[in-house]
Amino acid sequence: MRASEERFRTAIGAVSDIIWTNNSEARWRASSPVGAHSLASAGSGGCVPFGPCRCSDPSEKIREWVGVHTDITERKQSETNLRASAARVRLATEATAVGIWEWNVLTNRVRWDAQMFTIYGIAPTPDGFLQYHDWSDAVLPEERARQEEILRETVRQRGHSQRKFRIRRRTDGEVLHIEAVETVRANADGEAEWVVGTNLDSTERKRGEESLRQAAEEIERASRAKMIFSPPSAMSCARRSRPC
* 114 shares a domain with 43: no
* 45 shares a domain with 12: yes
* 230 shares a domain with 113: no
* 17 shares a domain with 31: yes
**In Å, how far are 95, 145, 172 from 168, measured between CA atoms?**
23, 15, 8
State the pLDDT at residue 214: 72
* 106 shares a domain with 38: no
Residue 87, domain extent = 76-201
State the pLDDT at residue 91: 44
Domain boundary among 50, 71, 92: 71
**Polymer length of the chain:** 244
Whether pTM exceeds 0.75: no
* 231 shares a domain with 213: yes
Phi, psi (rounded to 5 degrees) for 58: -55, -25
Q: Give the span between the Cα atoms of 167 and 175, in whole angstroms.
A: 6
Q: In CATH, what number is assigned to the domain containing residue 89?
A: 3.30.450.20
Residue-wise pLDDT tens for the chain (244 aa)? 666 666 656 655 555 566 666 665 556 565 554 444 444 444 444 555 555 676 766 776 766 666 666 666 776 666 655 454 444 445 445 546 899 999 999 999 999 999 999 999 999 999 999 999 999 999 999 999 999 999 999 999 999 999 999 999 999 999 999 999 999 999 999 999 999 999 999 998 887 766 666 777 777 777 777 777 666 665 555 555 555 5
* 46 shares a domain with 31: yes
* 179 shares a domain with 101: yes
Count the domains in the chain. 3
Residue 178 burial class via C-beta count within 10 angstroms: exposed 0-12, middle 13-18, buried 19 and up? buried
Q: Which residues contact 186 (CB under 8 A, 6 or more apart)?
A: 158, 192, 193
Closest CA to 63 of 55, 53, 71: 55
Q: ∠ at Cα 132 (110, 85), nearest 5°?
A: 20
State the pLDDT at residue 242: 59
